[in-house]
Amino acid sequence: MGIVRSSGISTRQVFGAGLLTGAVYFAATLYWLVETMTAFGGLATPLAVVAAGLLVAYLALFPAAFAVILARLHRAFGLRALFLAPSVWVTTELGRQYLWDGFPWTLLGYSQVTALPIAQIASITGVYGLSALLAATATAAAFFVVARGRARFIVAAGTAVVVGICAAWGAGRLRSSSLLTHGEPVRVAVLQGNVAQDEKWDPALRDAITDRYLAMTRQALAQGATFIMWPESSTPFYFEEDIVRGSAVRRLAKESEATLLIGSDQIEPIATAAPTDAVRSRYYNAAFLVQPDGTVGAIYRKMHLVPFGEYVPLKKLLFFVGPIVEAVSDFTAGRDPVLLPVGGHLASTAICYEVIYPNLIRRSVLDGSELLTTITNDGWYGRTSAAYQHWDQASMRAVEQGRYLARAANTGISGVVDPYGRVVAKTGLFEPAVVVQDVRFLKDRTIYNRLGDLVAWLSLLLTAAALVGTRFRRSRPGARVE
């Protein structure tokens, strides 16, 4: 049957243990999916639990794979295989980013985003390097428990020294904070309209919502803001299609000579073969940059769509989520990371959970972005931990890229993070707010920006090489293959 046994534990048991561990981890961090699908997707609670459970089960496969791979390496190399655990773990996290549609939510390294001295390592290695560091400390603890002799003390001490060096270097980087004096300053405002989901597309409230954002924009202008950000899909109308309300936004930008970043859906007609064909359109979740002269200087279309929010994957297989299919708009993904011209500089934006893709943000900086922005609508999450998880993951991008990050969220959390991950300003949830802060356009590039996810790809290479090596190793005494 091909069962590998080491110390009496089968591959099936190892897989089961890893799957259970992953299920507990992801159920605890993604529990809010149930509330989201019942409140906004129209699913009954039992069906929402099943749908969320399927995603949790899929994600749990990655810790299960980690367990199976590490067990195989242990069978071939003994306790020394434990030192490969960080590489194996990071490899599975990399898989979560690229396999299927990708869902790299709550990677291990994000737990350090508020431990600022340690978080600075992300400027060299990215979040995957932090994940590797945490996995290495866990490995050292495991080795200390199971090993015998002086080796376990040497490994524990060595790991403590590495962590200490990382913390000392990070603390020194924070003390220096040289990036805070570089670049040209710009006063940015992020608006948090706090519009309830069930009110956003109510025709009777369209003018009231528009007026709210225009008033908040004027409030930001009065505080000296020259670059003002509205949240994702903040307009209760199609910006390009609604001449009256769209003109009001353009006119305000022109009168104030400010730059506005407006989150709004976009419709693009599709050319048909014959004039008699029914009119078809593509829908995009977009961000419009309105320049000081009132013209649209750039349009960014969201590239990573939210499953069950902007499209439903595997519709035929997941037939029981019919209410979500009916409730979800069928959006089309954008293709290009369009940059935004702001006051003679270039900024970039990420819409909603795109900000959890480190490679996407790195690409925008490589293309010339000097300021990171992200607009989102986290109203779907209610008062769960999801909004806080989202904020923390966005903050990590600032450290990785050495850029200020400004975030506008409909119901919060909105705010500004400096290039070292320090929170400059931060709002609460479900309250209207206008946050105005001075930030800087920066051109310096971090080591991570230059090297990318090298740690993750090297981890994949090392794991693959180790697995190949197991084919040339004899089983340890007491291990056998059946």
pLDDT digits (tens, 9 = 90+) for 50-81: 888 999 999 999 999 999 999 999 999 999 99
The answer to whether residues 160 and 215 belong to one domain is no
Structure tokens of 141? 């603890």
For position 309, what pLDDT does the model report?
Answer: 61
Same domain, 339 and 463: no
Note if 257 is an active site residue.
no
Q: Do you find a cis peptide bond into 447, omega within 30 degrees of 0?
A: no
Q: What are phi and psi of 365, to 5 degrees?
A: -70, -40
114 and 198 fall within a common domain:
no
Residue 279: pLDDT band by 50, 70, 90 thresholds?
A: low
**434 & 374 share domain:** yes
- Binned at pLDDT 50, 70 and 90, residue 321 comes out as low
Is the same domain home to 473 and 401?
no
pLDDT, mean of residues 196-215: 92
Confidence of residue 482 (pLDDT cuts 50, 70, 90): very low
Residues 93, 166, 200, 302: which is the catalytic one? Answer: 302
Structure tokens at 347: 């900024």
Beta strand ranges found along 215-279 (DSSP E) = 227-229, 259-270
Q: Residue 290 belongs to what H/E stretch?
A: strand 280-290
Catalytic residue among 35, 352, 370, 400: 352
* pLDDT score for 399: 98
CA distance 366 to 208: 40
Domain with 275, as residue range(s), is 182-450
Over residues 363-387, the pLDDT tens digits come to 999 999 999 999 999 988 889 999 9
The residue-averaged pLDDT of 136-157 equals 94
Residues paired with 6 in a beta bridge: 9
Task: Read off the pLDDT of each residue in 326-349 and give the average, rounded to a whole number.
Answer: 87
pLDDT above 90 as % of the chain: 77
State the Cα angle at 32 between 360 and 200, rounded to 5°: 75
Same domain? 474 vs 432: no
- Both 439 and 473 in a single domain? no
Band of residue 275 on the pLDDT scale cut at 50, 70, 90: low
Q: Is the pLDDT of residue 474 over 70?
A: no
Query: What number of residues does the chain have?
Result: 482
pLDDT above 90 for 43: no
Neighbours of 480 (CB within 10 A): 12
Q: Does residue 3 carry a pLDDT above 50?
A: no
- Shared domain check, 205 and 148: no
Are residue 390 and residue 475 in the same domain, yes or no? no
Which of 35, 93, 232, 310 does the annotation list as catalytic?
Answer: 232
316 is catalytic: no
Q: How confident is the model at residue 478 (pLDDT cuts 50, 70, 90)?
A: very low
Cβ(339)–Cβ(348) below 8 Å: yes
pLDDT of 2 above 50: no
Helices 11-29 and 45-77 cross at an angle (nearest 10°) of 140
My answer on whether 293 and 441 are in the same domain is yes
Residue type, 380: W
Instruction: Give the global pTM.
Output: 0.91
Between residues 95 and 317, the one the model is more confident about:
95
Higher pLDDT, residue 203 or 339? 339
Residues 299 and 373 in one domain: yes
SS3 state at 42: coil
Active site residue 232: yes
Q: What is the dihedral of CA 2, 8, 72, 107, to 10 degrees?
A: 120
Same structural domain for residues 121 and 212? no
Domains identified in the chain, total number: 2
| Cβ-proximal residues to 17 (8 Å cutoff; 6+ apart), any chain | 67
Position 261 confidence tier, pLDDT thresholds 50, 70, 90: very high
